[in-house]
Amino acid sequence: MNTSTNPLKAPFEAMGPIVDFEVGLRYSDLDTFGHVNNARYFSFLEEARIAWFEACVPKRWDFRTHGVLVARNEMDYLKPVHPGDRLIIRLGASGMGNSSIHIRYEGIVLPGGKEEGAMLALRATTTLVSWDTAAGKVCRVHEDWRHAITGEGSL
């Protein structure tokens, strides 16, 4: 990526809805080096993923009967995030298997809270597996989800 390109304006490849989630940074997110602790980023991804699901999945959905489990998380840390910065997590589905949904993320830091100078702070991926709670096992991604995320299937 060209470093002069503002990542907020750069194209983001994904199927279905793309969500920009602004993280509410707290003092407790910081480590002794004065930047956001590496472990906190996975919690940020989780919060962003919940917002993404709310944009994708029908509101009537009961996650207690059919949900998802995280099978894999992977992250590349590119720039630190400091107090006073804003952090936007952009995410969307990058693929779907029979029982899996693949999510990709870009974390965009706005130094001092300003869009000017925005930089890519992280890239990450999550693999989710569809879970049938009653049966206690992995199952096919529900057709309502498949349709909402990819446009395939029927409602």
In a domain, 35, yes or no: yes
pLDDT at 121 over 90: yes
pLDDT at 1 over 70: no
Name the residue among 57, 45, 50 with its Cα closest to residue 87: 45
pLDDT at 152: 67
In a domain, 5, yes or no: no
* Structure token digits, residue 102: 């693949």
Instruction: Give the mean model confidence (pLDDT) for residues 5-28.
Output: 92
Instruction: Give the mean model confidence (pLDDT) for residues 124-151.
Output: 92
In a domain, 155, yes or no: no
CATH number, domain with residue 38: 3.10.129.10
In a domain, 42, yes or no: yes
pLDDT at 64: 82
In a domain, 10, yes or no: no
pLDDT digits (tens, 9 = 90+) for 34-57: 999 999 999 999 999 999 998 888
pLDDT at 153: 55
pLDDT at 155 over 70: no
Q: How many domains does the chain have?
A: 1
CA angle 16, 141, 42 (to 5 degrees): 70
CA angle 37, 38, 43 (to 5 degrees): 95
Question: Which range of residues forms the domain containing residue 22?
Answer: 15-150
135 three-class SS: coil
In a domain, 126, yes or no: yes
What φ, ψ does residue 154 adopt, rounded to 5°?
A: -135, 155
Residue 98, CA atoms < 13 Å, CB-side half-sphere: 3
Q: Structure pTM?
A: 0.89
pLDDT at 30: 92
DSSP code, position 143? H
- Cα gap 132→151, rounded to integer Å: 22
Asked whether 102 and 94 are in contact (CB, 8 A), the reply is yes
Look at the chain and count its residues: 155
- pLDDT-derived band of residue 139, with 50, 70 and 90 as boundaries? very high
pLDDT digits (tens, 9 = 90+) for 55-100: 888 677 777 888 899 999 999 999 999 999 999 999 999 999 999 9
